[in-house]
Amino acid sequence: MKIEIWSDFSCPFCFIGKRRLEKALEDFPHKNAVTIKFKSYELDPQAKHIPGKNYAALLAGKYGMSLQKAKEMIEQVKQQAKEVGLTYDMDNLQNTNTFDAHRLVKFAEKKGKGKEMAERLFHAFFTEAKLISDHHTLEELAHEVGLNRREVLDTLASCKHSKYVREEEELAREIGVQGVPFFVFNEKYAVSGAQPSQVFLDVLQQVWERENEKPILQTLTPENPETSYCTDEGCTIKEKDK
């Protein structure tokens, strides 16, 4: 089974949704037959890092809400993160552009480290409050998952893998992705949002059953057809066929 996940590293529910899916996979009997691939999606392609900009103030300004309302929303997100074992440092979060982070994941995939790189980026952004648009920060994070520093810096300094990021973002638009996280199972079944683990487990089981069930033909002939036929016990010849 293939699972494609459209997400952004600045999306708090993408990390939470990732953990909930992982929890569901722990209870899924066919988990060893599941492959996961992260797809690129930018919540705000025009985002820029503003040093010293408080995340609550950023949310309040972006969504036209009061600062108090933004703080309450942040607390709710932190609580949901805590429930799946994550610690979010929202006070020191460094909101920024994530395009190069997505390019880095595409590079990491070529080296067989795509899932590890995605996990490291989420943790760096939300738990460690690192600036994941900074190339030296990305170099260090990539090195931690086993990637070559020089190759990483050369990639980031170029336009390499930009094409793949843009293609995945375009595909997201084509299939109707309106927000992230967005999960696609076997290119047929979609689940939107950071659903509870039980919902993911139910989806995994349903997709597995649908994709692996034996085809059952529906007969269109009468229950006792007046025609000749053979079985492993012999042949029957109806009068009308003589």
130: CATH: 3.40.30.10
- Which range among 62-71, 196-205, 226-235 shows the weakest confidence by mean pLDDT? 226-235
Whether 63 is in a domain gets the answer no
Residue 62 in this model has a pLDDT that exceeds 90: no
Whether 235 is in a domain gets the answer no
Question: Residue 153's pLDDT is what?
Answer: 97
Residue 219 in this model has a pLDDT that exceeds 70: no
Question: Residue 52's pLDDT is what?
Answer: 85
Average pLDDT score over residue span 136-147: 98
Whether 217 is in a domain gets the answer no
Whether 55 is in a domain gets the answer no
Residue 225 in this model has a pLDDT that exceeds 80: no
Range of the domain at 153: 2-49+94-212
Number of folded domains that form the chain: 1
- Which range among 9-18, 160-169, 221-230 shows the weakest confidence by mean pLDDT? 221-230
Residue 29 in this model has a pLDDT that exceeds 90: yes
Question: Residue 117's pLDDT is what?
Answer: 98
pTM above 0.85, yes or no: yes
Average pLDDT score over residue span 102-106: 98
Question: Residue 230's pLDDT is what?
Answer: 72
- Percent of the chain scoring above 70 in pLDDT: 88
Q: Are strands 2-7 and 35-40 parallel, antiparallel or unpaired?
A: parallel
Q: Say which amino acid occupies 18.
A: K
| Mean per-residue pLDDT of the chain | 92
Whether 36 is in a domain gets the answer yes
Whether 83 is in a domain gets the answer no
Average pLDDT score over residue span 14-24: 98
Question: Residue 216's pLDDT is what?
Answer: 64
Whether 77 is in a domain gets the answer no
- Percent of the chain scoring above 90 in pLDDT: 83
pLDDT level of residue 60 (50, 70, 90 thresholds):
very high
pLDDT level of residue 226 (50, 70, 90 thresholds):
low
pLDDT level of residue 212 (50, 70, 90 thresholds):
confident
Q: What are phi and psi of 57, to 5 degrees?
A: -65, -35
Whether 194 is in a domain gets the answer yes
Is the CB of residue 5 less than 8 Å from the CB of residue 183?
yes
pLDDT level of residue 133 (50, 70, 90 thresholds):
very high
